[in-house]
Amino acid sequence: MLTIYNTLTRKKEEFIPINPDKVRMYVCGPTVYDFFHIGNARSFIMADIFRRYLEYKRYNVKYIMNLTDIDDRIIKKSIEEKIDAKNVAEKYSKTFFEDIEKLKVKQADIYPKATEHVHEIVDFIKKLEKNGFAYNVDGNVFYNVSKFNKYGKLSGKKLDELESGARVDVNEEKKNPLDFALWKKAKEGEPFWESPWGKGRPGWHIECSAMSCKHLGESFDIHAGGNDLIFPHHENEIAQSEAANNKKFVNYWIHFGFLNINNEKMSKSLGNFFTARDILKHYSAESIRLLFSQTHYRGPLEFSDELLDSAKKGLEKFENLIEKINMELGPHPNPLLEGEGVNPNFEFEKYYKDFESAMDDDLNTPQAAAVLFDFVRDVNKTIAENEKLSSDFYLMVKEFLSKTAQGVLGIVDLEKSETKGSSIEKDLIELLIRLRNDARKEKNFALSDKIRDGFKELGIELKDSKDGTTYRKVKK
C-alpha cells in the first residue's frame, strides 16, 4: 500500500487515485529567465522519481510540468540583455530542456506555457469575477482573499494573523494587502495581451490554476513542487481554483525540502547557488540522483562536493557489478547457455519486496537505496562463492537493477554500462589476438598456443584463415 505525506492534511495517507489505475500529476516547473540551479533540480528529480515509481506500480500517469514564460523576472532579463522577453523565454526554455535531459528526468506528457494559455487564463479570471472573488481596479484585477473562508488551509496560516511583508506586495489599489494579482495592467514597453480589463498579462498564480485544470481537469490527484511554493503560490492556486470551480482542487500535495549550503537555503536571491549545468560538468546525473535519493524528499539536504564525491564512489559498486554481468553475458546473451551452470537460491523476491516496502512508505528513497546497496553486496558474495553461475542468474540480477536502480531511482544506466563493458571486452580480445599473431610470426608457438587455450577456457573459439583471425563465443 502506497502512502504519501499530504501537506494539506499534514499526515501520511493511503494513495487512492480519483480514477483507478490512472494518476494525474502536476509539477510546478521553472520560470525561464536563467539557468536553473541545483536546488531546483532536486524538485525536478524527486518529482521524476515519484512519477517513475507510480509507473513501476503500473499506474498510467499523465504528468504535466508548466513553464512560466512571462514574468517580471523575464521582463527584467530582457531589459538587461536588450532582447525581447519572448526571446529570453525561448533561450532559457531551450537550456532547461537540455539540462533536465542530462539529469535523466523523463519528459513530461505536456509542458504548457503561460503565453499559450492566455485565453484560458482570461476565462478563469472571468469566472472568479462572476463568482465574486475578483475585482478590477483600473485594469489591474485582484483576488479578494477575504472572500475565500478556507484561505490558509494548505500552509496553516491564518488570514487574520497574516501581515504584508517580504512576500506580499504593498499596493494601495488592493482591498486587503494579502490580495494578489490575477491580471496586471501593462506598463510602457512591456509585453501585453488584450483582455476585458484592457492590455496586460496574467499574474503568476493564475497561470498554474488555468493550465492544470485545462490539462488534468478541475480536480486531480497530485500537485508537487518545492517547499517555498506552499505559500503563497500553492495556497493561492487552491483559493483560485476552488472559488472558480466550487470543488476540491487537488487530493495530494507533495513538497520537496530545500537544498542548503552552510545551513542556508540555496537560492538566487541569496547568491549562494550553483546551476545544474555547472554541476553536470563535474559530476554525472547518476551521482546527483543518488545524492538526492539518499535524503528523504521532505527533509533539507546539505549540498557539498564531499557528498557528491561520496555518491560517485558509491556508484562504483553498481558500475563494477554491471560490468561483471556484461562480461559474463556479452553484448547479446547466448540463449544456448541459459539454464546451464549453477543457479543459486538467491532471494530476488525479498529485494523486490524490501525495495517496494521502502518506496511505499512515503517514497523513502534513502531506505530504497540501502536495499539496492545490500543487493549489490549479496550478489557479489554469491558470485564469489560459486563457479560458473548460470546466465539466468545474471539476467535476473540485470532485470532487478533495470527495474529499480535504473527504472525508478535513475542512478544507473545499464545501456551505457553495457556499451562500455562490451567495448572493453572487444578491445581486450582483439589485443590478445594481435599478441598471439605476433607470437606466431616470431615462431613462439608455446605462447601462441597458451593464448589460444586461454581463450578456449573462457568460452571463446579462435579461427585462423588467410584473411586473419576471427573469434566466436561458444559453450564452455
The residues, any chain, with a CB within 8 Å of residue 25's CB and separated by 6 or more, are: 47, 50, 51, 54, 61, 62, 63, 64, 216, 220, 221, 222, 223, 224
The DSSP letter of residue 206 is H
Q: In what order do the strands lie in the sheet with 301-302?
A: 264-265, 259-261, 301-302
Evaluate whether 134 touches 141 at the Cβ level (below 8 Å). Answer: yes
How is residue 260 written as a grid cell? 542548503
Residue 467 confidence (pLDDT):
65
- In contact, 354 and 369? CB cutoff 8 Å: no
* 3-class SS shares of the chain: helix, strand, coil, % to 5: 50, 15, 35
Strands 264-265 and 140-143: unpaired
Q: What is the pLDDT tens value at each position of the chain, 476 positions in all?
A: 999 999 999 999 999 999 998 999 999 999 999 999 999 999 999 999 999 999 999 999 999 999 999 999 999 999 999 999 999 999 999 999 999 999 999 999 999 999 999 999 999 999 999 999 999 999 999 999 999 999 999 999 988 787 544 344 567 789 888 999 999 999 998 999 999 999 999 999 999 999 999 999 999 999 999 999 999 999 999 999 999 999 999 999 999 999 988 777 777 666 667 899 999 999 999 999 999 999 999 999 989 999 999 999 999 999 999 998 988 886 555 443 445 677 888 999 999 999 999 999 999 999 999 999 999 999 999 999 987 888 899 999 999 999 999 999 999 999 876 555 555 667 788 788 888 888 888 889 888 888 888 888 887 888 787 667 877 666 44
Contact 328, 387 (CB under 8 A): no
Angle of helix 414-441 relative to helix 445-457, nearest 10 degrees, comes to 150
Bond prior to 177 in cis (omega within 30° of 0): no
C-alpha cell at 363: 517514497
CB 410 within 8 A of CB 48: yes
Smallest Cα–Cα separation from 31: which of 114, 103, 132, 127?
A: 114
Determine how many CB atoms are found less than 10 A away from the CB of residue 435: 13
* Distance from C-alpha of 201 to C-alpha of 116, rounded to nearest angstrom: 12
Which pLDDT score is estimated for 47?
A: 98
Radius of gyration of the chain (CA): 28
β-partners of residue 12 are 5
What pLDDT is stored for residue 334 in this prediction?
Answer: 47
Output the pLDDT for position 170: 61
Contact 312, 329 (CB under 8 A): no
Task: Determine the pLDDT at residue 423.
Answer: 59
Question: Do residues 288 and 308 lie in contact, with contact meaning Cβ atoms separated by under 8 Å?
Answer: yes
Q: Is 2 helix (H, G, I), strand (E, B) or coil?
A: coil
Which residue ranges form the domains of the chain, and what is each CATH number? 3-281 (3.40.50.620), 305-412 (1.20.120.640), 418-473 (no CATH)
* Contact call for residues 341 and 391 (beta carbons, < 8 A): yes
Residue 331: predicted pLDDT? 55
